Each structure stands twice: as structure tokens, then as C-alpha cells.
Structure 1
């Protein structure tokens, strides 16, 4: 697919996400790009995403290598999500409404069930990795994903399950814990833990506590959270079991205002890495300009204000937790 790069809509530690246009079909896509020599994680993500076919996982549109000036760049092409991230929506609104949170949660759980049926652990589920599309939400950013049982740990500490924060294990139950944290974030617009500090990592790992449930949510929602946020991994419900929870009944309601009028258009450009390229399609570029004009300040966050730990082999609990605590630029959403 020949394509034209547009404005930057998100950032990561080593990658940037651009809106783009297919020169042949005119389809708007998203392109996640990294320098080829630093693209190991992105290539792995492309490999995983290429083997998936689920309406609740962001769609794969191919990958290629381009020359950006003197630099070789690896590009992962994906379905474009015009609504930005759930984290942005929740932060702006102070939390999405109950029916919308329920419907979005149902779609996320269906996506998790599919991933787990394929033997894949997402490892970094959170609101900034859930994208809003016309029909609801889709799970994105599989850069930390791994095969179940693989000896690696990754993710964002504030959404890590206790066993992950201790460096013991990261499996399907860990994704379920992160789901509970994401539902809290979705419902409140805030982090699942009140303090973004190193002491919180120790608290997650060793205190036996769970995040505080929001007071404003329904009792069914609180019960659902209680099935996700259990300290002992084996006691957490599976994605299949969660789909039968009463909280998710009637969750496939008509599309909410979040999916259409509020989010019509696209994402705006943010100050970021500029990638030069050969852009020959005037009409495609015009479409990208128009997309930028009608958008608000929505964006794909992709980790621009947090640290993702990737490709870390299992270590002893004390050493792993200490590594999390001593990251120089340790930040949280």
C-alpha cells in the first residue's frame, strides 16, 4: 500500500504515530513508525497484530520500511481510530457515564477473551491503549504483548497486577487486574492509584491492597471490579467468566455521543519528532489538512508520559521491584 504521512497523533519511547492516507483508496490509516535499528518491539507488534482478526482489536493494515531522509524507518500500518483514547475521553469528562463505561468494558473484555484464546497476554492494558472508533472501542498497542508463559515482563507500573510488580509472573489474570484498573480510570478520569510515587509500586507489590472503587459507580460495577481486582491471581475471574457478569448485560446499547458528535473528525498534531518523506499526493495531503482542521485535541497517547518496561526476563522479586523504583524518569498517567 502506497501511503502519504500526515500529522503526528501520538508518541512512544521509540515510536511516533501519524495519521496517513492510502494513495490508492483514500482510506485514512494510522502509521506507527520507529527507526529500523530501534524497531524490534514494533516489528514484534506487527507480527502479532498481523495474525489477529477481531472487531475489538485494532486492525492490521500492513507494514513496510521507508527512507526518511538518511534514516531507515519501520512502519506498522493500522486501522485509524478517530476518537482518540479512552484515557483522554475520561480525563476530559471527569469519567465517562455508566452505560458507556459498561459498554466499553464489555468490548474490551471480548477483545481480551479473543487474545487469551490465541495464547496472547496483552501485558499493558490501560485507557491510553484503548481507542475509540465509530462502533465503540478497540484494544491497541501490543508492543508489550507476549505468548502466555514467556519469561518476560512489561507494562505500565500503575496498572500492573501485584504479581507482576513483584516480578513473579505475568499471565492472563494479570490482564484482568489491568482491566479492573482501566475501568476505574474510565469511570473517574483518574489513575487507579491516588499517588504517582515509588511508594505506590511497593504498595501494589506487597501491601495486599487493591485500588479504591469509585463511590459513584453502581453496585454491579463494584462487584465486577471485585472479580477483577483480587490479589491472588487464581481467584480473579477469566475474561469468559466476566462476560457473564450481570454488569455487562445490555451493554451493547446504541452508540453514545462519545463515538460520534463529540469525536467527529480526527486528532490534532502535537509537537513531536518530524519525519521527512516523499509526499507526492496533493489530494491525500489536503485530506490530512482537513482532518486536522476539524479535530479537537484528541490524540493517541501511546505512552508519551509513562515508562513501559519491555523485554525484561524474570528476576527475583526484590531486584525487579527495585528496578521499577529507580527508573530516572518514572512517570504515570
Structure 2
């Protein structure tokens, strides 16, 4: 497919997301790109996403390899979601969403979870940053940390995710199954309601893991939520994973029932539906999104003055979602490439022969000339995809030992983390 790369929509340590359009059809889509030598995680996400078909999962559009600026790039094509992330929607709502809107998004996320769980897949990193908003509502995205439960998983790292959204059993390094996604859903609902972290008084990731994993506490449920919303959260946020409701059960809860007229009116008021490649202000940089720091403890006034204060302070508060702030504990983050040297240096390689031509608007025309079967064989044979690198930062394969009420974390990187 011949396509044109537009402006950057977001960038992070694992990939850069750009707007793109097909030269043949004119269709607009998003492309996640990373150098081929560092593309193991993105290729793994491609294999997962290409197997999913649901209106509640971001759509898969294809993939290819191009040569741009003398570098081989691996590109994953996905559905363009003009509303950006759920985190962006929270900020546009002044730091918190109307409860009717929370119910709408929660239902769509649960429907997505019900679908992937029925396929034997655990997302492992549900949070506002990994839910995208489009004209039809919310869709689950970013499957870089996902894992299969049916034995066909190639991922070596067993535990992954974002510490503040981890379920107790995950924080203890015991298990990461379907119930852990349900717990993270509950934390995401708190995020939508407050614009704040599920554990607002916890100083850092290590403290969060200990508190989540080894105390008897639950995330604080906002008192201003309706009884129906509180009851829904109580079904998600149970410390014993066996007692948590499944996604299928949650779909029958009245909090995420079918849209009522009030909810439809609220949804329309929140709807953003840009349709052209020029309507790009709805996507903020992923780095900027992480740096905004909206996931802080929030006050809960809905007054205009309070909303303005929140908007003014977004760029000033500490950022705890950036992945370089987290510590990886016994993580498998080997980023050494399995790409043979001749693929990196041979300009005539059929996999890599592409041309990138710059235009006056800093837009690149990318022509992919590689044979499709050759590229598929190359991807299948040359890569043993690892997981999650530094995508959403992740604490993986950590090991806790409890001795006389003291937590011993067996990792040399902890001392560096605590000293920072």
C-alpha cells in the first residue's frame, strides 16, 4: 500500500504515532512506527491486534516495513480515533467526566473486555491512556502488554502493567488473569470520576505495589458518585480475584445499562468528530499526555472556578505516568535486535526497499515495495518477540518476600529508584 505520513500524533519510548492516509483510497488512519531493530513489541502487538475484530477494540489496518531516512521502520496501521485517549477526554472535561459519560465509556470498555476475554486474551494494562475515543465512543487499544491464557503466548515476561492500576494478586507477582483487567477497569472509572490516581496518597511505584499487594485496603471510591456507580465499583474492586465479577456479569449491571435519553444527550455534548486529516488538535502527544499529570489527587468541586484551576495546573503538577519514572523490577527488557546485519545495511533488500520523499508540509510519501509473502516470512522467522519493553512502563517479574512486616524487594534497581 502506498501511503503518506502526516503530522505526529504522539510519541513515546516504544513508538511514534502519526496520522496517515492512503494514496489510493484517501482513507485516513494512524500509524505506529519504530525502527525495525527495536520492533519486537510492536510486531507482537500486530499479531494480537490482527486476530481481533470488535467494535470495542481499535481497528487493525495492516502493517509494513519501509526505509525512511536510511532507517528500516516497522509500521503498524490502526484505526484513526479523532478524540485521542480517554485521558484527553478527562482533561477536556475539566479533570473529571459527568457520571452519565462515565457509564457510557465503562460499558464500552466492559464490552471490549468481554470480547477479548472470550478469546483467551488478557489486556494487562487497562487505563485511560490505553483507551481511545472516536465517533462511536471508547475502544480498547495498546496491546503491547497483553497475553494469551490458552498456551499460545510467546511472551516471556509474566507480569506487566502500570503499578497504580495493578490488582493485588498482580502486585504480589502471583497471577495476571481476567480478574486483573476488571480491577484495572474499576481504577479507570475512578480516574474518569476524579482525574486522579486510584491511590492518590501513595508516593511512588514501589510504595503503591506494597500497599496494593499486602494491605487490606481498597482504592478510595468518590463519595459523590451515585449508589449505582459505587455498587458497580464494589464488584470490580474486590481484593480476592475469585470474588470479582466477570466482564460478562458486569454487562448486566444497571450502571452500564443501555443508554437512557440523559446519557445520549451527555454523549452528544462530549462528541468530537473531526473527519479530515487537518483536524489534528484532538490528538495530543503521548509524551505530552503523560506529562500533563492529570492523574493526581483531585478536589471534587464541579464549579467553573475549580475547573479553570484544574486546567491551569495540569502542566505544573508532578508527572507520575511517564514511563521513565517507573522502576522495572526483574524485568526482561533486552532490546538487542534479532535482525541480521544484511537487513540493516543492504539497500537492495526486497523487504526494505522503500522511498521517503519529503514535501513542503513535512509530510512523507512512503512507498512499500517489499513482497508481501517475503515480508510475512521475514517477520515470522527473524523475530522472537518479547514484550512490553517500556511501553507503559512496567513493573515485571518482580519478587517480594515478607519478613516480620518488612518488604524486601530483590532488585538492584530499587536503590537507584529510591535515590532519585
What is the TM-score of this pair, normalised by structure 1?
0.83
Is 1:278 paired with 2:338?
no
Structure 2 counterparts to residues 60-139 of structure 1, below 5 A: 60-92=60-92, 93-139=94-140
Query: 1:37 and 1:328, CA in 2 relative to 1: closer, same or farther beyond 3 A?
Result: farther
2:257 — aligned with what? 249
| Distance in 2 separating the partners of 1:280 and 1:177 | 46
Where does the alignment leave 5 or more consecutive residues of structure 1 unmatched? 287-301
Give 1:134 shift. 0.3
SS of 1:168's partner is coil
| Distance in 2 separating the partners of 1:179 and 1:201 | 17
| Distance in 2 separating the partners of 1:27 and 1:329 | 45
| Distance in 1 separating the partners of 2:411 and 2:35 | 26
Where does the alignment leave 5 or more consecutive residues of structure 2 unmatched? 288-353, 365-387, 402-406
| Cα deviation 1:137-183 (Å, max 9, x = unaligned) | 10000000010266711111111111111111000000000000001
| Distance in 1 separating the partners of 2:220 and 2:30 | 35
1:260 — aligned with what? 272
| Contact 2:41/2:389 (<8 A) preserved | no
| Contact 1:123/1:170 (<8 A) preserved | yes
1:10 — aligned with what? 10
Give 1:259 shift. 1.9
Query: 1:73 and 1:328, CA in 2 relative to 1: closer, same or farther beyond 3 A?
Result: farther
Structure 2 counterparts to residues 1-333 of structure 1, below 5 A: 1-92=1-92, 93-148=94-149, 152-194=158-200, 195-197=202-204, 198-251=206-259, 253-254=263-264, 255-260=267-272, 265-267=279-281, 270=285, 278-279=356-357, 285=363, 307-309=393-395, 312=396, 314=397, 316-318=399-401, 323=411, 326=414
Runs of 4+ with >6 A deviation? 261-264, 280-284, 302-305
| Contact 1:176/1:239 (<8 A) preserved | yes
SS of 1:82's partner is coil
1:299 — aligned with what? none
SS of 2:160's partner is strand
| Contact 1:167/1:321 (<8 A) preserved | no
The CA RMSD over aligned residues, in Å, is 3.2
| Distance in 1 separating the partners of 2:160 and 2:209 | 14
What is the TM-score of this pair, normalised by structure 2?
0.67
| Contact 1:23/1:284 (<8 A) preserved | no
SS of 1:142's partner is coil
Query: 1:9 and 1:303, CA in 2 relative to 1: closer, same or farther beyond 3 A?
Result: farther
| Distance in 1 separating the partners of 2:43 and 2:7 | 22
| Cα deviation 1:196-252 (Å, max 9, x = unaligned) | 413222101111211100122111101100000000110000000000111112337
